[in-house]
Amino acid sequence: MNVIANDCFELEQDGRSHVPQDVLDAIRTLISWAGDDPSREGLIDTPKRVARAWIEYCRGYYEDPAVHLTRTFEEVGGYDEVVLLKDIPFQSHCEHHLAPIIGKASIAYLPKDRVVGISKLARVLHGYAHRLQVQERLTAEVAQCIWEHLNPHGVAVVIDARHSCMTGRGVGTPGVGMVTSRLLGCFKDDLKSRAEILSLMGRG
């Protein structure tokens, strides 16, 4: 699976339209198994579109999110308070049903002696989100990456998302949000810092 996906990714990067035949055949088989005719007009090009969409959905496998944290800044005018990026929209896919996970994340850290461009926090999130995921692991991966590579006093990540595997199938309960959090350093160990960051995130 990884070899096929990697081939697709390289082809996409090269700007070519070719997708491996076994990928197209697999999608046609799924369409047929679902009860439709993959050869009818509206579905003829669907296998290619689906394959190329999944190249984009899973592009996070071919990047290291930590690379976005390599360029930092020390000249911050003595700033030593919380840095918080709130309500970052993201989309991922559930590894159990390949169904969309759509939500928002709030990411914060308390710097020691350096900061990173705020867009990089969103890039770290998207790097991990563009993989097959469970929300709990996504939350932990984002927090751990920032913790290890920025070496801050504390990191806090809170994710609020809706899962299509629950809203569109199975229990069929739309409108339900799942919230996960990972607190590290001072945000975990110090009750005052914990309360402050959760309040800033609107989770107090």
The residues carrying an active-site annotation are 94-97, 135, 163, 165
Sign of CA dihedral 62, 149, 129, 90: negative
**Could you give the strand order of the β-sheet that contains 83-94, starting from the edge strand earlier in sequence?**
132-133, 83-94, 100-110, 154-163, 178-185
Which residues, at least 6 apart from 31, have a Cβ–Cβ distance to it below 8 Å? 37, 38, 43, 46, 47
Q: How many CA atoms are closer than 13 Å to the CA of 110, on its beta-carbon side?
A: 16
Contact call for residues 86 and 145 (beta carbons, < 8 A):
no
